[in-house]
Structure formats: C-alpha cells, structure tokens
Amino acid sequence: MDLIIDEAPLAPLTTLRIGGPAKRLWTVETEPEFVAAVEQLDRDGTPFFVLAGGSNVVVADEGFDGVVLHPVFEGADHQRRDDGSVAIEATAGAVWDLLVEALVDAGLSGVECLAGIPGSVGATPIQNVGAYGQEVAQTIEAVRVYNRDSKQVEELAGDRCGFGYRSSRLKGDASLIVLGVRFLLEQSPLSAPIAYRELAEKLGVAVGERADSADARAAVLELRGSKGMVLDEHDHDTWSAGSFFTNPLLDGGQFAVLEERVAEHCGGESRAPRFDAPDGKLKTSAAWLIEQAGFAKGDSRGQVGLSSKHTLALTNLGGATAAELIAFAHEIATRVEELFAVELRPEPALLGLEW
C-alpha cells in the first residue's frame, strides 16, 4: 500500500542527513505501484525525483517543491544458465550491500569488491558504481526500465547502457526509470581477478590473481571502514555521500599541463598519479590533488568537514547545511583548478542545487 506524506523531511532519508522537506513524499512498495505513480505524476505534470537509498545525493536546504518517490520494494531471483553462470534479477529497491553479502554467501563471484557501498540496487547502473577495481558494468547483463516516452517497461541490454567511469546513459536520461537489474555472475568460491593493488596487498595475492570471495569481501569492508566509507550513525566521518568528487579523466594535453603545474607547485620530485582509462584518457587522483592544494583530512568549515580518514569525503559534522557543504566543495574545486588546471566535478546528484 502506498504511503503519502506532505512536507516530509528528506534529510533522514540521505546518508549526509542534510536537506529540507519534499512537498510530498510518496513511498511505493511494489513495482506496479511505482510505475503507476510515475505515470500519474507525468499525466499531472508534477515534477518528481526518485530517492531510494539516499547515499549519492545532496538535497537543498529549501527541500524539493515536488514529489519524491521512495521505492522500497525488494527482492532477487536467480536462474542458473546452461554454461554454469547464474543470472540474478534484483529489484530497484533492494539494499545493495545486503545483496552483495547474500551473493557472496551463495558462492557467486563478480561483485564481492563492491561490498559496503550504501544505497539501492536501482542506483548502481545509473552511476556505474565501482570500487577496488570492480564496476557493476562488468556483471550487468540488462537493466529493466520504465520508459516515460514510450510509456512501456523495457529491457536495456548492458551494452546499450553507455557505461563509463561513474556514468551511464541512464544518468543523463530522465525518461528512463530503473525498475530492476539483471546481473550475470560466476558460480565460484573465488573472487573475480583482483585488479586493485591495495586490495591485492591486503589479501596477499598479486594483481590479476583471484582470492576467496568471502575474504575479498571482508578485506574490502575493512579497507572501507578504515576510510570512513561504511555507514555508522555514531561516526560523523561516515555522514557523507561517499566520494564527493570523481577522479578526473584527462587527455594527453591536459595531463601534460597537470605535470607542469605539479612540478611548479609541488617540487620536481612530485608526480601526479596516472592511470590508463578508456578512449585514450588518463585518470588521476582527486584525493591527491585536494591534498596537494593544501586541504587535509579533518579540515572543516562550520559544520562541514573533510573526513578525518579520507579527503574525498565531505562530511556532516552535525547540523550542517547544504549551502555550507556546497560552499566548501566549491572552495576545494576552485583551489585545485587554480593550481593544477584540473576541474573537479561532484559525483552525487544535486537536488535543488546548482554546481
């Protein structure tokens, strides 16, 4: 049964615990109710926003002058394929970390390094969620969506989702509402090949080797916890939207300018982190740039701070406002661009806010 609340606080529904109320909060408990709600809002011309786990969003202090749809329907079915792989059909409202835990416990491999990431299943393809060398794009076979243009439920094959670094076709297309995701996983007690050096070292394997999936998941949770990236209501370091900035993707010319600026501002021995990325791009570290620009873990402005464990996380120290958070984020991004000619872009969705 649907639940509708007027002037509903949104801050408690987000991991940042920031933001004003929605004109109306509409909680839906089944997929048909969700589709029906979207259809009704479109017919009425009512602006709406889908808020599930609230882990990757910053809500304006003024709130949202429209309807916030809050899907809470959960569930996941599996089907074994003839080649031994297993297809997992997960609903948009399912809690992502609980799904990862269940899949690892069931001996399924491919998402174990994505443990501890807050939020819902439905958000994962939009952002192409990734961590410790894995991305959901590697295991997504298809995404089930409601197409607001055709007014039909459709299936979008993974290769049509336009997955990129923390992005997808879904992220920029408001006409497609995620209803569920089908993941294709390997039946194996071993993880996918470990691609992230820090994780490989913790597990005692070489990069490219496999480890026990349960061990990989446990190691990821420990690493994330050490960086304040596992939710804990008693630890303000975890009151964040995760990494606030994406790691910049640069072309060769832009990276050359970065190297010149680093030599000028950081000394001849310093080198900007450099990682190969698709389409000939080079990825560098936003956290490194932030630190080289003079910001340190634990720095704060009012009730907003950088996590004491991880400079990429902007945290709510208690009573923070969205205006404070965005102002501090702009201060950081402006300083990085002034020094290194690199633009930092926010990773979370901004509801009622401009960047």
Written as one letter, the residue type at 137 is A
Residue of 191, 213, 243, 307 with catalytic role: 243
Residue of 31, 112, 135, 347 with catalytic role: 347
Angle at 310 between CA 15 and CA 268, to 5 degrees: 150
Distance CA 185, CA 196 (A): 20
Would you call 285 a catalytic residue per the annotation? no
Distance CA 71, CA 28 (A): 5
Instruction: Give the 3-state secondary structure of residue 177.
Output: strand
Helical packing angle, 213-226 and 96-105, nearest 10°:
150
What secondary structure, in 3-state letters, does 264-288 show?
HHHCCCCCCCCEECHHHCEECCHHH
HSE on the CB side for 195, CA within 13 Å?
14
DSSP letter at 212 equals: B
Contact 119, 56 (CB under 8 A): yes
Contact 110, 188 (CB under 8 A): no
Contact 19, 59 (CB under 8 A): yes
Distance CA 181, CA 320 (A): 34
Consecutive H or E run containing 203: helix 197-203
Would you call 55 a catalytic residue per the annotation? no
HSE on the CB side for 100, CA within 13 Å?
30
Residue of 166, 182, 217, 261 with catalytic role: 166
Written as one letter, the residue type at 5 is I
Positive or negative, the CA dihedral 27, 33, 38, 42 is negative
- Enter the tokens of residue 98: 């609980």
Contact 208, 193 (CB under 8 A): yes
Would you call 354 a catalytic residue per the annotation? no
Residues noted as catalytic: 166, 243, 347
